[in-house]
Amino acid sequence: MPINYLRGLTQPARSEATNRRLGRALAFVAGAANAGGFFAVGQYTSHMSGIASSLADNLALGDVNLVAAGLSSLLSFLSGAATSAMLINWGRRRALNSRYAVPLLVEAFLLLLFGVIGSNLQTHRLLFVPASACLLCFVMGLQNAMITKISKAEIRTTHVTGLVTDIGIEVGKLLYRNTGATPTNRVRADRQKLALLGSLMLAFLSGGLTGAEGFRHLGFVSTVPLAMVLVALAVVPIVDDVVAQRR
């Protein structure tokens, strides 16, 4: 890819086009990490709705171990989101071009760390399975907060509940019959938004399929290509800032 194209994906000056491109790429990574993570630890880690529900269920049943596991996952996702916000605000105060790229580089490192931890899962499952689940939840929180801030809360990439809801709303508008409607109260679907939402969901599903197949055939080494995608998205603005600091 051209350097300027990569630079534009995470630079502070934003456009709808760059937000869409970045959102699709990160939705693919999130889908792949989520599906691959399920093969590794038996738990989806990209969305907190199911985890919060299971936490409540296990609390009612009095299963202390599962309550602790659910709470750890929830707090890990929250910590990832908080860390992303702190990194971005730190970069903003220093006027860094890489303020949004740094969380992606951290995410890439953590995915590689997940791959390293994974090599010990079979022999030390009691220790490394919970650690891996928390690590992936942290990664998903980190990424979701980053794309939320960079797109001003218009795009989220780690779960599809909101995407499907918004797609349903726009489809409802699209199918609505405006019989007798005036120009002022006519219902119109936002086709551009519908196309974006559909592409994000498709990217997440494609990433999930890729992650599941990659993990099934390659094991934990399948985290390496995902990390390389994130590095490619992040590296140009970071190099720009390093060069600027040395001048």
Q: For 111-120, 121-130, 141-150, which range has the lowest pLDDT when averaged over its residues?
A: 121-130
pLDDT in tens, 68-103: 888 999 999 999 999 999 999 999 999 999 999 999
Residue 83, both tokens: 């860390």
Euclidean distance between CA atoms 214 and 47, whole angstroms? 21
When pLDDT is cut at 50, 70 and 90, the band that residue 183 belongs to is: confident
Angle formed at CA 154 by CA 110 and CA 100, multiple of 5 degrees? 40
For range 20-38, the mean pLDDT: 91
DSSP string, 141-196: HHHHHHHHHHTTTS---S-SHHHHHHHHHHHHHHH---TT--TTT-----HHHHHH
When pLDDT is cut at 50, 70 and 90, the band that residue 43 belongs to is: confident
Residue 153 confidence (pLDDT): 80
Is the Cα dihedral 236, 240, 246, 247 positive or negative? positive
When pLDDT is cut at 50, 70 and 90, the band that residue 124 belongs to is: low
**Per-domain residue ranges of the chain:** 15-237
CATH code of domain 15-237: 1.20.1250
pLDDT in tens, 191-203: 999 999 999 999 9
Euclidean distance between CA atoms 133 and 57, whole angstroms? 19
pLDDT at 210 over 90: yes
**End-to-end CA gap in the chain:** 27
pLDDT at 168 over 80: yes
Residue 67 one-letter amino acid? V
Long-range CB contact pairs, 114-117, < 8 A, 24+: 114/37, 114/40, 114/139, 114/220, 114/223, 115/220, 115/221, 115/222, 115/223, 115/224, 115/227, 116/220
